[in-house]
A = this chain, B = another copy of it.
Amino acid sequence: MTKFDAIASRLEGQAIELPSWAFGNSGTRFKVFGQPGVPRTVEEKIADAAKVHELTGLAPTVALHIPWDTVDDYAALKAYANGLGVDLGTINTNTFQDDDYKLGSLTHPDAAIRKKAVRHALDCIEIMDATGSRDLKVWLADGTNYPGQDDIRSRQDRLADALAEIYAALSDDQRLVLEYKFFEPAFYHTDVPDWGTSYAHVAALGDRAMVCLDTGHHAPGTNIEFIVAQLLRLGKLGSFDFNSRFYADDDLIVGAADPFQLFRIIVEVIRGGGYGPANPDGHSGVAFMLDQCHNIEKKIPGQIRSVLNVQEMTARALLLDREALGAAQDTGDVLGANEVLMDAFYTDVRADLAAWRESRGLPADPMRAYAESGYQSQIENERVGGTQAGWS
């Protein structure tokens, strides 16, 4: 049995949630470039996501962003998704695109606006009830642009109150995951800027409140795998938003900027018990999601590349010889321990993964399979007219 054979079974069941918005247009403040074939409706987004899953077997669920993906009948939407072989996943709140939220949402000085933002989250929980989603993901654009603009401390207190109100509305099998982000769109202070703040809030809320770690939301030089290890140790790592970055929140394809970092992150996920099936109570599983922008590359192959990157790094991480690693660590063999880790990273798993896919009825090379499938030209031909989906 090869080394790969020994870990092959652990690749089964790997599931990476796709964000519906990755299939819509996105860009920077300078320009959003449109692309032919981009979905006009949430159904078209789900169809594209289903295509990714069909070719990779890695992406069984799709996250929704409310109100971008608002529909009248979520049960029907779920049935539609199921018919395409996927399911609906995390529900994402959005309290950053209404004029009322210019100076904040859950932290706004005006109680009426905080109430509106809480109401939006409660509405999202109702959608979760309809879709059967486990996780409500809360990312806030809240913050200030100028020193003195608002009271940092009061905003934390308002935030705690608002989150408590939302948390109280969750059913026992639902979770709240609170995402943090270093900066942007606020430029002086952000109300949930780091894992410590997110952790302090979710610890105060209760067992079903967890931290969401977006890999692009850290200060330069931050050791992300350390945070992964710490949150798993504290029992509070709820989910990942995967992407990659060179500078700020670049939202590039996961693994594109620093593949070795992605490898180290997954090594710590596995080490800390965050990989594999959730505990029987269903509450402790870490959710793996993408949160990316394909500003210039094509959306569907961009998503295929992304889930493959996660899978390839997972295979490498699973190949890590933990016994040899532990032995080197325990004897203080710095170079030896590093070499064991690097050996796993440098192992080229691509051919083995291709064979593994074929043995499961999947295309050996999902990128090529997509290119040859004709799907891209089909959607470019069919999706004419209407308004392409984007961040609004």
Contacts and interface: CB of A to CB of B under 8 A. Distances in A.
* Count of chain copies: 4
A261 to B, nearest CB: 8
A391 B248 CA distance: 22
A248 B183 contact: yes
A157 interface: yes
A367 B147 CA distance: 18
Given A252-B187, A332-B109, A348-B347, A234 B146 contact: no
Contacts of A182: 221, 247
A258 interface: yes
A217 to B, nearest CB: 12
Contact of A367 (B199, B339, B347): B339
B30 A330 contact: no
B296 A102 contact: yes
A115 interface: no
Contacts of A296: 102-103, 145, 334
B199 A200 contact: yes
B200 A30 contact: no
A28 B29 contact: yes
B258 A258 contact: yes
A223 B246 contact: yes
Contacts of A234: 200
Contact of A188 (B110, B152, B189, B257): B257
Interface string A34-76: 1000000000000000000000000000000000000000000
A194 B180 CA distance: 15
A380 to B, nearest CB: 15
Residue among A197, A247, A261, A268 with the highest chain B CB neighbour number at 10 A: A247
Interface stretch (A4-12, A130-138, A297-305): A297-305
A286 interface: no
Contacts of A206: none
A285 interface: no
Contacts of A148: 325, 328-329, 337-342
A337 B258 contact: no
